[in-house]
Amino acid sequence: MPNVCFLGAGSGFAETICTDIMLVPGLAPGALRLVDIDAERLDLSRQVIQKIAEHLAPDWKIAAFTDRRQALPGCDYIINCIEVAGLQSVRADNDIPLKYGVKQCIGDTIGPGGLFKGLRTIPVWLDVLADCADLCPAAWVLNYTNPMSMLMLAATRVSHMRMVGLCHSVQGTTQQLAGYAGLPLAELEWECAGINHMAWFTTLAHQGRDLYPLLRDKARHDPQTWEQDPVRFDMMLHFGAFVTESSGHFSEYLPYYRKRPELIDQYCRAGYLGQTSFYADCWPQWRHKTDEGRRAILATRADIKTERSREYASYIIAARETNVPCIIHGNVPNSGLIENLPQDGIVEVACAVDRTGIHPTHYGSLPPVMAALCNANMSMFDLAATAAIERSKEAAIHALMLDPLTAAACCPAEIRQMGEEMFAAQQELLPGFA
């Protein structure tokens, strides 16, 4: 009878993950405790999840709280999907860097936008973990909030809670690779490791046959295939393997594709394939559409889903509660898992999950050129985590100086000026930064 606390119940993840949990075969009915500081969106989410529960699993207990400390006692799992001052900051996160030539597509996990989202979010995240340690110290914390690597790195430095960072980029990319290869997903043989949004498919095969020659041929000679993922296919051609994040978002993790207009025109496309300011322009609309979708469910104009999604949370809970083991790809401390990446960093590797917990598996060493790109990002994450924990503007600006996209577009003096301008624009949202 698991007690699950969902922090950030206004998030678009809420009904998907809660539905997934209620659909786990053999799972004893438990409680879903929904938490959000926005009382209106919390109530809307509660009504939707209550309706889903009545349809799928009427024995589950649904409750809503604006104070997380009321929801946390006795919880077995904490699902973290919080957003800290996102709507207030999304334009500054995008538009100030844009003035300096830093053209972000998503900008929520790396780059100036990712850094400042981390600076706003990590202090709140660490307060959440402190409350968990006080009220439910044996719980597992499943983090979905970005910037993933920064949050998990800061958490491992401060908290002793058991936790894992979860993303859906591995699941989504395997589905895409199966489509590009023209094969059933279940028949792919693959191995993947690295960091969040830059984990590399170092093995990709079908019945023992390496699929990379086929994908390289398609990338070079089939424009229809190329146009679906230009940056990732180009990186595959030059670096040897496919990665786990969409072309547009992945282009922000690199110094190569967004520093000149002609390069953006050559390699980037609309939407998630690299459109400049895509997230900042669209996110408020997506939030509105999420709420409208919930109202449609309540008005019976939308069907309730009855199949589990690919999100890992319900599979972790199922493995622990019903002892049906599974494999996930989680973001965890690098305790010798990837030997040629920093051992005090966060990596994304295969993890075995069973009743006893989440057990990261040893990968070994990445090919050196792949490790080097991961390492460059990890250096930025390291300083970003330090900046958030210590409330250090200087560490934050140094993190920006190490950011691959920012460094490709700006000199150090410009980066410092941009960082100071971003701090000034968000000073009320960044208490404690001198």
Q: Among all residues, which ones are annotated catalytic?
A: 168
Give the side-chain half-sphere CA count within 13 A for 377: 28
Closest to 203 measured CA to CA, from 374, 366, 373: 366
Q: How many whole angstroms separate alpha carbon 237 and alpha carbon 351? A: 29
Residue 84 is encoded by which pair of tokens?
Answer: 């800290």
402 CB-near residues (< 8 Å, 6+ apart): 376, 379, 380, 383
Please spell the DSSP secondary structure of 272-304, one letter per residue.
Answer: GGT-TTHHHHHHHHHHHHHHHHHHHHHTT-SPP
309-312, Cβ contacts within 8 angstroms, sequence gap of 24 or more: 309/16, 309/17, 309/19, 309/20, 310/168, 310/171, 310/172, 310/175, 311/13, 311/16, 311/17, 311/20, 311/166, 311/168, 312/142, 312/166, 312/168, 312/171
Q: What's the N-to-C CA distance of the chain in angstroms? A: 47
The residues pairing with 327 across neighbouring beta strands, listed in sequence order, are 352
> Do strands 140-143 and 209-210 pair parallel, antiparallel, or not at all (unpaired)?
unpaired
Helices (H), 136-241: 148-158, 169-181, 212-221, 223-226, 230-239
- CB-based contact 198:373 (threshold 8 Å): yes
Tokens 């984990």 appear where? 199
CA atoms of 147 and 157, how far apart (whole Å) = 16
Cα torsion through 354, 14, 228, 185, rounded to 10: 30
Q: Give ∠ CA 130-135-139 in degrees, rounded to 5.
A: 85
Tokens read off for 91: 């334009």
- Of 5, 74, 7, 13, the closest CA to residue 37 belongs to 7
Strand 3-7 to strand 31-35: parallel, antiparallel, or no bridges (unpaired)?
parallel
